Chain A
């Protein structure tokens, strides 16, 4: 196997309590801490591990988004990716960009860059779509191994353990293939200072969606983005007896 393409998305940091804009058009992103989507860190780590095991020869990180997307590409490079590709999409176009557009971009890059494996996170923690890997695989007509918690190379195929509702499932997918990483796939490494410095010298190529021949016409209209309903404040109970009495009164237990 020669080349691995790994997709990374810049999202609001997972620990941030988001705020909905008063005009209901979206959430506030200006001045809010952003970082790499946690599932994508896992995807990068897996790609770098494949390289360390000499299974992959080159790891190419790609991000679709505004100028700041280059920050997450640098992070991927500091973790061990060899080079980056930035597909710049900004403003309103980026607000309405969906997995279908990103998957078309990734599919085109996978072909252009002659990769054998695409690794993505299972979902972005902002839109919570959980679609891009599946759609990229479909665009390429490649097999998909989604929600992966273990990946082993087995000849010209991958044996992948997937996290499914009732437990785990093992499948065998022929290369080339698309994988989406679940939380349990690995523990991503921290980029060390020397590696962060080295990453500054690694190349990032800038390409537009148009260069790739991908149409980014919006498929949706955002009608509104609102706060979820707030729960009524509850009460702190003094002891177990009171709790059990409340649960009995509520008809929850006998």
Chain B
């Protein structure tokens, strides 16, 4: 009797608690377009229950805040514009988020698990004296989350005891939010948040007309087996035919065949396209961590013992220097 009573009490308390969830999503953008991962983060935020507010911070936030307001499920967009936010330095974004948190008392602060989200959110969490939770792949309840550890070889479910949950979201595990929203756009708290210790100097971005790795439906990746940077041209040609992105294993990056930002794996990008074609990649644990959630995996490798064949839906044991030109010719 007593236990039943307390169980129902706990349940109603939990429901009441759920009703008062409110989440701040820190948007990622380049002053022109909203990074699609913000849409995935909004979907994760909706799973937490409660209102979703998006914070858009930058030197130019007009078009991006409009795009954020249209994301399905977004109730409010807070904007903070100014030179202080040049380069979106963690030292400048953090005090702004803290001021916003102070005013609105969110229960959750969320961002995509990108280089930006990973750099900024732990700094915010430390200032709030809470333990952040990185790269969640699932939301079980407002305080219980699923994430991977050991390069994706174990799935951990953890319950946070902190009053505010600071989370980064693995984009590939949450659908992007639709575009039926009509959030109100308001000004974020103002203040002198410019970093006095860090200065943005410059960026050197890899220019490409191909889709970005994290958004591409097809990814063609090369590894050490490619033997040189020049040989990657075969993959670029194929990628252009198929509208695919080109990725690489750490070995190919370390050998200097392609730039670092193409690296897929535990410490590079995590991707989950419809089709992943691994060419001349052996399939080390660290690489598999970045691509094994792909829908269909194809491996082309001359070594039939290569571990990549254990995760591949279709394997072709062949010399890539014969197979890839043949594919290029026949498609």
Residue positions of A touching B, CB distance < 8 A: 12, 14-15, 17-18, 20, 27, 39, 98-100, 103, 122-123, 125-132, 134-139, 142-147, 149, 159, 162-174, 177, 182-184, 218-228, 231-237, 239-241, 243-244, 246-247, 250, 252-253
- Cβ of A143 and Cβ of B197 under 8 Å apart? yes
- Cβ of A252 and Cβ of B200 under 8 Å apart? no
- Cβ of B153 and Cβ of A17 under 8 Å apart? yes
Task: Give min CB distance, B305 to chain A, whole Å.
Answer: 12
B117-173 residues with Cβ-Cβ distance < 8 A to A are 118-127, 129-135, 144, 148-162
- Cβ of B203 and Cβ of A240 under 8 Å apart? no
In the assembled complex, which residues on chain A have CB atoms less than 8 Å from the CB atom of B275? 247, 250, 252-253
Question: Does B182 lie at the interface of the complex (its beta carbon under 8 Å from any beta carbon of A)?
Answer: no
Size category, B interface: 35 or more
Question: Does B101 lie at the interface of the complex (its beta carbon under 8 Å from any beta carbon of A)?
Answer: no
- Cβ of B261 and Cβ of A165 under 8 Å apart? yes
**Which residue on B lies nearest to A135, using beta carbons?**
B126
In the assembled complex, which residues on chain B have CB atoms less than 8 Å from the CB atom of A236? 304, 309, 314-317
Contact (A219, B149) CB under 8 Å given A138-B122, A171-B199: no
Tell me which of B89, B115, B152 contacts A171 (CB under 8 A).
B89
Q: A131-B132, A167-B259, A224-B156 are in contact. List 15 more A-B contacts (CB 8 A).
A: A99-B132, A129-B132, A130-B122, A134-B119, A135-B122, A159-B201, A162-B115, A165-B214, A171-B198, A173-B198, A225-B149, A227-B155, A231-B310, A233-B310, A236-B315
Instruction: Show 10 residue pairs from A and B whose CB-CB distance is below 8 angstroms, ordered by the A residue.
Output: A122-B267, A125-B150, A128-B148, A134-B122, A139-B126, A171-B201, A236-B309, A236-B315, A253-B242, A253-B331
- Cβ of A167 and Cβ of B203 under 8 Å apart? yes
Task: Give min CB distance, B20 to chain A, whole Å.
Answer: 21
Specify which of A224, A227, A241 lies most central, judged by the most chain B CB atoms within 10 Å of its CB. A224
Question: Does B8 lie at the interface of the complex (its beta carbon under 8 Å from any beta carbon of A)?
Answer: no
In the assembled complex, which residues on chain A have CB atoms less than 8 Å from the CB atom of B114? 165
Residue positions of B touching A, CB distance < 8 A: 87, 89-91, 94, 114-116, 118-127, 129-135, 144, 148-162, 195-206, 214, 218, 242, 250, 253-254, 259-261, 266-267, 269, 274-275, 285-286, 292, 296-298, 304, 309-318, 323, 326-327, 330-331
A173 and B88 CA atoms in complex are apart in Å by 14
In the assembled complex, which residues on chain A have CB atoms less than 8 Å from the CB atom of B316? 236-237, 239-240, 243
- Cβ of B330 and Cβ of A244 under 8 Å apart? yes
A224 and B261 CA atoms in complex are apart in Å by 33
Contact (A252, B125) CB under 8 Å given A171-B87, A243-B316: no
Contact (A220, B161) CB under 8 Å given A127-B149, A166-B261, A244-B331: yes
Tell me which of A125, A132, A250 contacts B296 (CB under 8 A).
A250
**Which residue on B lies nearest to A173, using beta carbons?**
B198
Tell me which of B124, B131, B304 contacts A219 (CB under 8 A).
B131
- Cβ of A172 and Cβ of B199 under 8 Å apart? yes
- Cβ of B296 and Cβ of A252 under 8 Å apart? yes
Specify which of B124, B133, B260, B326 lies most central, judged by the most chain A CB atoms within 10 Å of its CB. B260
- Cβ of A221 and Cβ of B158 under 8 Å apart? yes
